[in-house]
Structure 1
Amino acid sequence: MSPVHHRPLIGITSYQDEAAWSVWRQTASLVPQTYVDAVSRAGGTPVLLPPQPGGVGRLIEALDGVVLAGGADIDPARYGAAADPRTGEPHRARDDWESEVLAAALAHDLPLLGVCRGLQLLNVALGGSLLQHLPDGSHQQVPAVFVQQPVRIRPGSRLAGILGEHTKVNCYHHQAVARLGTGLQPTAWSADETVEAVELPDHRFVLGVQWHPETDPDDLRLFEALTRAARG
């Protein structure tokens, strides 16, 4: 198949939670359809990666790129902190699984995009820590409603090359980067100086954003950049 028509396989880490459909209500592996649509419309073939025992090495060998999807708060024990009362109940199986996926992706230099929780996991995995609760109403207001806010982007960064130096984004997070992980470079900030994006300059494509680009069907630039890197 010609490289022009090659659709790279993009793994999307997924939730394992109680869900309801038809007459059923039971534990399911799922991810918001917006992630699947964004990857597909950007030229990739989405592959869901639910928490599971083992098999990460073989899986990573088969993939061309990875999306670390948003979701629940990371267990604060992973960065040596006690849980704030406002931190959500940890999903340790997902924390374990995604940490393995992330480590293998970095070791194989697979293109990787971290979304919200995905950015936070990347930061924690590289030795960073998290601020467990931002001021109420600043980046997360009404439940299940995204907050649109402007961000400024570091000139000359990979992110600036994709989005320019200013853009508006859809946010929904109550935690953020505190201490940066080793090697990470902050590349975007909101008006209150919260870090909104990070990247690893010495990797082929490792980028984390605190916002939710998958919720904007009219702006696929981040997913298209990931797909281009994965195809390469």
Structure 2
Amino acid sequence: MTELKTQLLDAALMHVPFDGWSEAAFRAAVADLGADMTAARAACPRGALDLAVAYHKRGDAWMLERIATEDMSGMRFRDKIAAAVRFRLQAIDDKEAVRRGTTLFSLPHHAPEGAKLIWGTCDAIWTALGDSSDDINWYTKRATLSGVYSSTVLYWLGDDSVDHQATWDFLDRRIDNVMQIEQIKAQVRKSPVLSKILAGPTWLASRVKAPGRRPPSDLPGSWAAPRD
């Protein structure tokens, strides 16, 4: 993030609680800095939307710093995931800015950007925790965590419990739900009858590979050609 963009973000945060991530907030930030509007537009072509994206990514960066400095060696993996989500929420110093961002990214024309940001956060968590999956699990892990993270953020926005303890309890329950699903999947794989029924979908899923395997000009993900 450029220095001007950082300054604009910091200045805009004073106005977001009142004006949202809007053109008014962007113009107010430019005015507060006494910055040139042309330069501001060059740094943020989409105005406040770019600042909202930058604010989210700043939180991701703080989360990654926390993960890197915390000793989680003795934790179960599901607890590491819960801790990472908790670190991400604790990186937020302005709940109203997130609430306004949720409103912004719920708009149909900004929803794809919001989904991309959530996916990016969850990808950052899995990568930081050492995920090495290179198949369809790469996608399912991030998709599942995206659901957990999104629902936890919404719960957190309305949580007024001491130290957000209700949110952390909610997060633990959602992760427990995911673990139950994984247990069911494991039982299905062990069943000879169900394994035969799902042989086709299982083979198809085995062909999907993580994005790192794709050709540069291909779409996200790749297809593993069957061997002779």
* TM-score strictly above 0.5: no
Structure showing the higher helix proportion among its residues: 2
Q: State the structure with bigger RCO (CA 8 A, min sep 6), 1 or 2.
A: 1
Larger Rg: 2
TM superposition score category, shorter chain reference: under 0.3
Structure showing the higher strand proportion among its residues: 1
TM-score with structure 1 setting the length: 0.27
